[in-house]
Structure 1
Amino acid sequence: MKQSHRNAPPWLTYVTVKGDTLRHNPLGDPHERHVPVFLPPSYGGSRRFPVIYLLAGFASTGQSFLNYRFGRKTLPGQLAELMERGKMREVIVVMPDCMTRYGGSQYVDSAATGNYETYLCRELIPAIDQSLCTLPQQRHRAVAGKSSGGFGALRLAMRHPDLFSAMACHSGDMYFELSYRSSFPAAARSLAKYTGGTKEFFEKWEQAHKPVSSDFPLLDIMAMAACYSPDPSKAPPENMRFPFDPRTLDIIPEVWEEWLAFDPLVMLRNNDYAAALGNLRLLYLDCGSLDEYNLQFGHRKFSAQLEERGIAHMYEEFPDTHGDTSYRYATSLPKLADAIACTD
């Protein structure tokens, strides 16, 4: 791995990770990734810092946190202001690149897209610890994200308690019975327009200067199927199995069960995963009460199940939709920074 500044602001650098885990991935996506990293204002010298891994949502990657919008600070700019004003402890914030040609990896290992969970946990984290002045212990490391990134953060915290001691999930994917199934009709309607099936659709999507926005639900479900129910016997872009019959929308039980195994609400039934959450220094969740993907209902159920298990957590709702909610990081990230700045 190597580190560079590329004319970045003083609090931003890039770490290049070889990505040996991603070599020869099924989609031919780049294995070498350039990962943006926020460095706290006093970074330098011998001091070491805790680390937050911040995961982007579907169709976004680490670079999306750097996007400038009129009247809004980029996330690194927001972090710098919080820290300089003493409203947030100084931490390093890593913004991973786990993008795929399908629009995202869900931060899972998949025979259809690549082993992104292994890449992040067993290759990216060590690369960051080797190249930057981090506190490399689990108690000084957190994971957070929004939407697909929130799903990824929650799932990784469940599965890798050896790596993370705090977690924040903003509007993360869950309650698949309600959130994903509500998108199946729109995906089926779009698929019906393409006599060549997913292959024709995806080729046109990739070639279009301006893809048809109404076809986005099909891309989304196609990507989720690649992550949750891959079919390595077929070549991309057909190397996945849909959990429904596109003609009738009848659920295909054996495929749907594969999807449900990834649902955080289902995962929480596993005592080991529940224990991992119970041992976190901070378990933070939030969602918009007007979320278009119905995720607020899943988050309410998840919070209730945590309460039933006696697992300490924070859950907040805000009167907003699914998009444009980066302002919520000003609440969650300082809390995470407090949690992983521990000295015990």
Structure 2
Amino acid sequence: MPGTVRIEVLTSEVLQNNPLNDPHQRKLVVYLPPSYMTDPSRRFPVIYLLSGFMGYGTMMLSPQAWGYAIDERCDKLIAEHAMEECIVVMPDCFTRWGGAQYMNSPATGNYEDYIIREIIPYIDRTFSTQTERNHRGIMGKSSGGFGALRLAVNYPELFSAFFCSAGDMYFEYGYKPDIPKTYNALYKTGGLDGFLKKFFEAPKKSGEQITAINIIAMAAAYSPQASEPYGIELPFDLQTGALKETVWQRWLAHDPVFCVDQKAWRENLSKINHVFLDCGARDEYHLHIGARIFTDKLRNYSIPHWYEEFDDGHMGTSYRYDVSLSKLSRSIA
């Protein structure tokens, strides 16, 4: 018997009047496992599944050639006894820039608060959930993996487990190589205004444009600055392309490979019962190197965790949900 997909519509107070004028009414995808409809007295654990950059909840329902939409994958794994029955929640945190890293920022809006203060309470009062932290986990890939790790560490009283798949870390390798590419894209269009005009007018976005909008989105998350255009301080000089070291240090303050060296951050991480990470060994953004550095530090700090590399890159790895959904669901069952 298949599970059921509900698409709820939330009117958010924390996203109202956000600086990008993005919608504050959002769709929220909720997967209910097969037994939800047949056993009304039963309460279920909850997994929060965060999309990567340029993604949002309803996209995960798209059928894939020779693959599975997320609800189909959950049905398959549950039928094979590879996944415990869980409610799976997929929020929409898309922004004009393509994402917000699931953070609060005066340049984008309060997407951390949206998940923590609005979505989680809504799910617990609307559905038959197990509300204790031991039965709540969070997961995601790429920006979603970064968000899952960060939110779990920020709120260990809410989450007992997370799975970070190819999450953004070691920004020196992951983001820095794209900074000169972004500078070139902005320089030849006359600056940020010119680039954004061409970007939003383009019927098909080029690879160079996607690279640049990603760096712009990251700047909105990591280095907001009210006095700058669009409330964003870019990590490079718009005229010369020179790296702005003070801005870059603001970015690095959010990098998990450095955050883990902070005692308070590490103590919060140690409160998480189950820490899972994976990454493709050929990740095009070099996130496998970040994952290796991060997990090496976890070992040195004696923080229990599970990490696996697999023979693939960054894209087209939805099949790894077989691993992450299985492990995370069993850890919170």
TM over 0.5: yes
Report the Cα distance in structure 1 between the residues aligned to 2:97 and 2:21, rounded to whole angstroms: 11
Asked whether the 8 Å contact 1:41–1:84 carries over to 2, the reply is no
CA distance in 1, matches of 2:3, 2:47: 19
Instruction: Report the CA distance between 1:17 and its aligned residue.
Output: 1.6
Q: Map Cα deviations across residues 318-337 of structure 1 (whole Å, 9 max, x no partner).
A: 11010111111111111111
User: Equivalent of 2:74, from 63, 74, 79?
Assistant: 79
Question: 2: CA distance between counterparts of 1:248 and 1:199?
Answer: 17
Tell me, yes or no, if the aligned pair for 2:3 and 2:71 is still in contact at 8 Å: no
Distance in 2, matches of 1:268 and 1:118, equals 23
Query: SS of 1:72's equivalent?
Result: coil
Correspondent of 1:151 among 138, 146, 154? 146
CA distance in 1, matches of 2:228, 2:239: 21
Q: 2:246 aligns with which of 221, 231, 254?
A: 254
Equivalent-residue separation in structure 1 for 2:213 and 2:281 (angstroms):
25
Q: CA deviation at 1:10?
A: 5.0
Partner-residue secondary structure (3-state), 1:22: coil
Asked if 1:29 is matched to 2:57, the reply is no
Correspondence for 1:224:
218
Q: CA deviation at 1:191?
A: 1.0
Paired position in structure 2 for 1:17:
10
Which of these residues, 28, 32, 44, is aligned with residue 39 of structure 1? 32
AA aligned opposite 1:276:
N
2:86 to 91, 106, 116: 91
Q: Does 1:204 align with 2:198?
A: yes
Aligned residue for 2:279, secondary structure, equals: strand
Map 1:90-169; keep pairs closer than 5 Å: 90-169=85-164
For 2:116, the aligned partner's letter is C
Shift of 1:224: 0.5
**Structure 2 residue corresponding to 1:306, chosen from 294, 298, 302:** 298
Percentage of pairs with the same residue: 45
Structure 2 Cα separation of the partners of residues 276 and 324 of structure 1: 32
Deviation at 1:207, TM superposition (A): 2.2
Q: Is the 8 A contact 1:15 1:128 kept in 2?
A: no
In the TM superposition, what is the alpha-carbon distance from 1:251 to its structure 2 partner? 2.2
Match of 2:261 in 1: 269
| CA deviation profile, 1:25-55 (whole Å, cap 9, x unmatched) | 0000011111111110110312110000000
Q: Which residue identity is paired with 1:33?
A: R
CA distances 1:111-166 after superposition (whole Å, capped 9, x unpaired): 00001011111111101111111111111100100000000011111111111000
TM-superposition CA deviations, 1:257-299 (whole Å, max 9, x none)? 2111111111111222212222222101011111111111110
Equivalence for 1:173: 168
Q: Distance in 1 between matches of 2:63 and 2:69?
A: 6
Take 2:92 and 2:26, find their aligned partners in 1: how far apart are those partners? 6
Do the aligned residues in 1 keep the contact of 2:183 with 2:236 (CA within 8 Å)? no
> Of 195, 210, 215, which aligns to 2:209?
215
Following the alignment from structure 2 to structure 1, what is the Cα–Cα distance between the partners of residues 68 and 209?
31
- Flag structure 1 segments of 5+ consecutive residues without an equivalent: 1-8
Amino acid at match of 2:9: T
- 1:146 maps to a residue whose letter is K
Amino acid aligned to 1:192: Y
Structure 2 unpaired stretches of 5+: none
Once the two structures are TM-superposed, the CA of residue 204 in structure 1 deviates from its matched residue by 2.1
CA contact (8 A) 1:52 1:142 kept: yes
Please give the alpha-carbon distance, in whole angstroms, between the structure 1 residues aligned to 2:304 and 2:296: 11
CA distance in structure 1 between the partners assigned to 2:44 and 2:212 by the alignment: 42
Q: How large is the Cα RMSD of the aligned pairs?
A: 1.3
Give the 4+ runs in structure 1 shifted more than 6 A. Answer: none
User: How many angstroms apart in 2 are the aligned matches of 1:321 and 1:23?
Assistant: 37
Q: TM-score, normalised by structure 2?
A: 0.96
Matched letter for residue 247 of structure 2: V
Mapped to 1, the partners of 2:293 and 2:237 lie a distance apart of 28
Distance 1:191 1:81 in 2: 46
Residues 174-195 of structure 1 show CA distances to partners (whole Å, capped at 9, x for unaligned) of: 1011211011121111112111
